[in-house]
Amino acid sequence: MIELINLQVKYGRRQEPIVKGAHAKFENKHLILGPNGSGKTTLFRAITGLAPISSGRILIDGVDLDKIYSKPGVLAINLSEVYSVFHLNAYDHLRLFMDLTGGEVDLALKMLEDLGLSNDLLRKRKPWELSAGQQKAFSTVIALFSNARHVLLDEPFEQLDPARKGRLIEHLREYKGVLLLNTHETWLLSALKDWNTHLMFEGKLYGSLHAGEIVKASLVARDKPDAMLKFTVSGKTYSLIKGGVGEPLSRLITLDRIYELSLGEAENI
């Protein structure tokens, strides 16, 4: 289980915090849904110890993150920057990380092949020479096959074609362990209906609700007392309500549209 206790992340003393007082427990499969720039990736970096925690704590299986060192099998993440160690090809990097985490190279290679990254390609290219989508798929597969109890996936579907998205979703459904997946795309709510979902806006984490509930919910730009969930964007309060008159959240396609709504269309929903 990953537990966030009043977590605040900020770079530099004078800067505005990027993650603001996040409280959450992640012990199953979770979606973190938020627009670009809402702090999702920074939150993941903080959980991995790659971003500075200005206040609060992160516990992984009850152990403070600061006290975790040299512990394979605890956590893995799909940020491509952590999987470029040497000026060597992607295949060597895959071998290295599977060796250091006790993962299965053959299974990872099979999954990579499924996602369109052949063994031949991995031997020819360095990780940063792969296309953006291939880099994401490469680091996602390493994270998933690292035998970790907790896996953080930052926008794993970005630039994957629909067929490969489908294959990856199947794999995520079967994964035994805690999964945290962040995205700004709302179509995942329908694909992963039984996952717990948090919303993230302007550094604040809201929720959780089941993805299935959010799919059926509607968004209104008002503070509704009977709301399933309320959140604030650009100083305006929004409510997620069951059914009803508002805009279904899933119809926004990407949560980046929330800013457009907060600027102009909000009054219409």
Partner 1 sequence: MTLYLRLKIKDMLTTPELLGWGIGFIEFWVLMWIFVFSQISAGTAWKIYVIKTNITMAYSFLGLLSMSSVAAGLSYSLFYASRAARYLTKFTRIGIVRFIVEDFLGSLVAILIFTLVIFLSVIGFSYMKWGILALPENPIGVIVDLIIAGVALYWLAYMIALAVIVSRRTKALTMVSYIPLIVGFIAYSQLWIDLGNLVYFMPLCPLPALLTYHGIGAYPPTGAYFMWLAGDKLLPAINLRLAAISVFAWTIIFIILSLILLRKSKGIPIEEIRL
* CB of 187 vs partner 1, minimal distance in Å: 29
Residues in 100-159 that interact with partner 1 by CB under 8 A: 100-102, 146, 148
Give me the least distance between CB of 107 and partner 1, in Å please: 18
Gap between the Cα atoms of 184 and 170, Å rounded: 20
| Identity of the residue numbered 251 | R
One residue of 16, 86, 132, 175 binding partner 1 per CB under 8 A: 86
Q: Does 179 bind partner 1 (CB under 8 A)?
A: no
Q: How far is it, in rounded angstroms, from Cα 108 to Cα 97?
A: 11
Q: Of 56, 72, 133, 248, which one interacts with partner 1 (CB under 8 A)?
A: 72
Cβ density class 45-69: b for 16+ within 10 Å, e for less: bbbbbebebbebebbbeeeebeeee
Least distance from partner 1 to the Cβ atom of residue 168, Å? 22
Interface with partner 1: number of residues (CB under 8 A): 34
The answer for residues whose C-beta is within 8 angstroms of residue 157's C-beta and 6 or more apart is 165, 168, 183, 185, 188
By CB under 8 A, name the one of 13, 14, 87, 176 that touches partner 1: 87
As a whole number of angstroms, the distance between CA 104 and CA 243 comes to: 45
Residue range at the interface with partner 1 (CB under 8 A); choices 46-54, 106-114, 164-172, 176-184: 46-54
**Least distance CB 66 / partner 1 (angstroms):** 10
Distance in angstroms (rounded) separating the CA atoms of residues 134 and 140: 10
> Which chain residues interact with partner 1 by CB under 8 A?
11, 45, 48-52, 68-72, 74-77, 81-88, 92, 95-97, 99-102, 146, 148
